[in-house]
Each structure stands twice: as structure tokens, then as C-alpha cells.
Amino acid sequence: MTSIAFIGLGVMGYPMAGHLARAGHAVTVFNRTAAKAEAWVAEYGGQSAATPALAAAGADVVLTCVGNDDDLRQVTLGPDGALAAMQRHALYIDHTTVSASIARELAAARGDLHVLDAPVSGGQAGAVAGKLTVMCGGTAEAFAVAEPVLAAYAKRTGLMGPAGAGQLTKMVNQIAIAGVVEGLAEAVNFALAAGLDAASVFDVIGAGAAQSWQMDNRAGTMARGEYDFGFAVDWMRKDLGLVLDEARRAGVTLPVTALVDQFYGDVQALGGRRQDTSSLLRRFRP
């Protein structure tokens, strides 16, 4: 049994922490909304702590899954932050999608910890099913220590390079997704406008070169105007902002990504801030 602190019980962190508890680990949770932590304890056992520091004290592994750079800095380096309270040689894993710069900052904050930046892909459904993909940045030693922990909710893990490499890999992931979802939105809109049966169309072309995870899982729901599948437009815009900032620093142009980011801004203006990323179709069919 491993002593684990899990900080951040949002739509991803709540089920991920649950998988750790079900795997037999001793889990202490912290969440800014204490009622959420209490609900988690009622469902999975373990215990909750009043601060990130109290959750992290004495833990073998500390994990965070919060909102953005500012949230992460608060729960790790702020007053009552987790990092200062961690015991020497413990493992710290951050699952938040944040900038590569804060990932490197946290990796350098204490030289006596194993640290991984480890953003995930798979969305809320993947977190609930325990089938996330985890992209890690850090040392090979830290990754080896982390693999048995990550196995509780990951279908695939990979060490992508040194600190920050996990976050950079997640940026590649979001670049690829943005272009695919926009292309699918245009395809669904065209099929409907042409009077075609969308289900039949995507059943046929989904067996060919046009196939993608997004087509398999979202073409039908998009055609029905259903957009309640987890990863919200607000979070995608946050992620794409990180991507575009990093691209500017690297001198890389991302014209399609920048355009799709603007399109998500249109969806926000239509009231779709909490709808999932497939709601790009709303630009054509509000």
C-alpha cells in the first residue's frame, strides 16, 4: 500500500483519485471546495485534509490536478502549499495541463524530490474508465517510480523527455485535436445541408481514410446537437492559449490552431463555454 495525497477533485481528479483508492492505496484528498472532498471520502474511503500541505505531509506520492498555472502555483508553492511539506525522496506528479515553464519551475523547486509533469488525454470518460493516456516529463528514475501509480487509471504512459516535455507533448495533442474537430464540424454541417443521412455518411466514410476518434465518437452526437461530453470549450481555449504562447516563444507558426482558437471564442459568445469541444458545429448551426 502506498500513501498518496491527491490535490484537486474536478471532473478528472475525482475519478482518478477514486481509481487509486480502489487499487488499494491509502489516499488523502484536498479540494478547495471542502464538500467535494467530503463526498469523495464518503464514496471511496480514505480521508480529506484542510490544506494541500496537510495532505502532502508524510505521503509517498503527491498528485495535483487543478485548473491552470495560477491554481497550480497556489497549491504547490503558495501558503500551505504541498511541495514544502513533502518528505525527502517522495514522488510529485502533476496532471494539470499547464505551461512548460511552470513544469520546469516545479521540477527545480526541490532537489530532493522525484518530479513529473504528466498531463493526460482521454477526457472525463477516460478518467472514469481508467483509460487515460499520460505524457510525462522528468527523469527516467521518477518515471519508473511513477509507473505503478499511474497504472491505476492509465491505458498508456510515456516518458517524453526532461521536465516540461510532458506539457509540450500535450500541446502537440491539442494542436492535432483542434484541426480534426474543426474539419469534422465542417463535414457534419455539409452533410446535413446537402440533405444526407449523417449516420449513414459517417458509418461509411469512418471505415476509410477519414476515420478518427472524433468521427467515431462525436459525428453522431454533433449531428444531433448534443454537446455534453466532458472537456469544455473554456478549458480548450485555455490549452490553446498555452499552445500559442509556446509557439510564439519558439518562433513556430500555427495558422490553423490560431484560427480554431478564434472559432472557439465564437462558441463562447454563443453561450457554449461549458459545452464540449465538438460544439464547434454551433458556429454553423447555433
Distance (Å, rounded) from C-alpha 282 to C-alpha 278?
9
| Identity of the residue numbered 48 | S
Considering 36, 131, 155, 170, which one is annotated as catalytic? 170
**Three-state SS string across 254-286, please?**
CHHHHHHHHHHHHHHHCCCCCCEHHHHHHHCCC
Distance (Å, rounded) from C-alpha 276 to C-alpha 230?
6
Is 131 marked active-site?
no
Which element (helix H / strand E) includes 48? strand 47-48
Which element (helix H / strand E) includes 154? strand 154-161
CA distances to 4, 22, 87, 282 from 277, rounded to whole Å, are: 32, 30, 40, 10
Question: Which DSSP state fits 87?
Answer: P
Residues tagged active-site:
170
